[in-house]
Amino acid sequence: MRRERAEPRTGWPQIIEAQGLAYHRTSHPENLTRPYWDESVHYTFEMDEVLRLEETVEELHRMCMEAAAYIVTSGRYELLGIPPHLVPAIEASWNRRDPHLSGRFDLRYDGAGPPKLLEYNADTPTSLVESSIIQWYWKEDLFPSDDQWNSLHERLVDRWKSLPLRDGPVHFAWTEDDESGEEFMTVAYMKEVAEQAGRLGVGITMQDIGWDGHDFRDNGRNEIKTLWKLYPWEWIVAEEFGAHIDETDWVEPMWKMLLSNKGLLVALWELFPGHPNLLRAYLDTPGNMKSYIRKPLLGREGASMEIVTPGLRHATEGRYGAEGFVFQEFQALPDFDGQHPVIGAWVVGEESAGIGIRETSGLITDDTSSFVPHRIPL
């Protein structure tokens, strides 16, 4: 793993906007001089390195599925802060094996030691357009003879083909509270992927979903039989229609609440203590750790976190943490030219599907980070 520089393409903003990254100007704080999409730098990997990482990602996914089963069979829902009244629906979804689509692991990796799991974004992972489309065309334009760890698009199409869904269109939902346009474009891309798989897609905002006493309906009064949403489950269950979630098929399914929660890190450590790809993690206590990062069970974009080491205390602002906190062993992100990358490793179904890399000069990857592409020299 190396960080290298390259000359950005002439007119790169217009190129990536035409390819779907229309939100690269609006998803980034305005006061930053570095763009969100930064193709002046990139990372290179060796093919054997990528193959090892693929195996690690798929092993982590299997471990997470074991952890979900462990939580269900042992009733350890307190690890996730899940209210008791939601447990029957979660367990019903798990026991039915409701089909799932994708997720993204965030990994600490420096090219030398084993990758370490930071968290699993299993319900509403973003940076999909950048990872799947934008960096692929960057590689094709500048390094056409090289390869890239990126089969996201093809695997998503194949997965949509294989999902056992009910007849009729699939509704694709985002929230109208999305000000940057990132959620809208992510949903639009996923809808296009599903349509390439032969599924008819209908776009809708979460605010336009209604319940008529028997079925979910869109704003055209059409029944919603299957819904893919970029809207977290902990928000869905709090909606007025949350009591009727069993009346439609959801992608991602409700059992993903077992994985889209940093309490999963505690369950993994209980099941696989000392595993080379895990960091120690405890619920609501640092235990005997001297260096740790406190993370809210349900948090986003690096908000409401605190790093504590013998020589440092650093906290980020935020409103998360009402459900509780996980205390995870702190290992500083690797340093490449003063930047600290996080590997976002995608899983589609049960298989590794590629990566996206975000990096920042800070200690925590947040909304100030930039997305940078990668390639595999051949």
Q: Which range among 96-100, 243-247, 366-370 has the greatest average pLDDT? A: 96-100
Query: What's the structural domain count of the chain?
Result: 2
* Domain presence at residue 272: no
Closest CA to 231 of 176, 302, 304: 176
Q: Which range among 20-34, 117-131, 359-373 has the greatest average pLDDT? A: 117-131
- Tell me the average pLDDT across 174-192: 89
pLDDT value for 176: 85
pLDDT value for 27: 66
* Domain presence at residue 344: yes
Q: Of 314, 329, 344, at which residue does a domain stop? A: 329
* Domain presence at residue 318: yes
Is there a single domain that holds both residue 26 and residue 138? Answer: yes
What's the one-letter identity of residue 83?
A: P
pLDDT value for 261: 95
Is there a single domain that holds both residue 22 and residue 125? Answer: yes
Residue 130 has pLDDT above 70, yes or no: yes
Residues 187-240: pLDDT tens digits? 999 999 999 999 999 999 999 999 998 999 999 899 999 999 999 999 999 988
pLDDT value for 170: 97
The parent domain of residue 345 ranges over: 2-262+334-375
Is there a single domain that holds both residue 148 and residue 95? Answer: yes
Q: Which residues contact 331 (CB under 8 A, 6 or more apart)?
A: 108, 116, 279, 291
Residues 250-284: pLDDT tens digits? 999 999 999 999 999 999 999 999 999 999 999 99
Is there a single domain that holds both residue 226 and residue 301? Answer: no
Decide: 215 and 223 in contact? Cβ < 8 Å: yes
Closest CA to 328 of 312, 305, 361, 349: 305
pLDDT value for 246: 87
Decide: 262 and 296 in contact? Cβ < 8 Å: yes
Is there a single domain that holds both residue 108 and residue 201? Answer: yes
Decide: 344 and 117 in contact? Cβ < 8 Å: no
- Tell me the average pLDDT across 154-181: 92
Is there a single domain that holds both residue 307 and residue 183? Answer: no
* Domain presence at residue 268: no
* Domain presence at residue 102: yes
* Domain presence at residue 269: no
For residues 135 and 129, what is the distance between their CA atoms, to the nearest angstrom? 9
Decide: 108 and 342 in contact? Cβ < 8 Å: yes
DSSP characters over 55-88: HHHHHHHHHHHHHHHHHHHHT-GGGTT--GGGHH
Is there a single domain that holds both residue 298 and residue 353? Answer: no
Q: What's CA 323's distance to the chain center, in Å?
A: 20
Is there a single domain that holds both residue 207 and residue 117? Answer: yes
Q: What's CA 276's distance to the chain center, in Å?
A: 22
Average predicted confidence (pLDDT) for the chain:
95
* Strands 210-211 vs 201-205: parallel, antiparallel or unpaired: unpaired
* Domain presence at residue 210: yes
* Domain presence at residue 201: yes
Is there a single domain that holds both residue 142 and residue 173? Answer: yes
Is there a single domain that holds both residue 285 and residue 195? Answer: no
Q: For residue 133, what are the CA distances in angstroms to 13, 102, 129, 158, 358?
A: 15, 16, 6, 16, 16
Residue 123 has pLDDT above 90, yes or no: yes
Kindly indicate the confidence band of residue 33, based on its pLDDT and cuts at 50, 70 and 90.
confident
Give percent of the chain above pLDDT 70. 100
Is there a single domain that holds both residue 101 and residue 43? Answer: yes
Is there a single domain that holds both residue 93 and residue 155? Answer: yes
Kindly indicate the confidence band of residue 17, based on its pLDDT and cuts at 50, 70 and 90.
very high
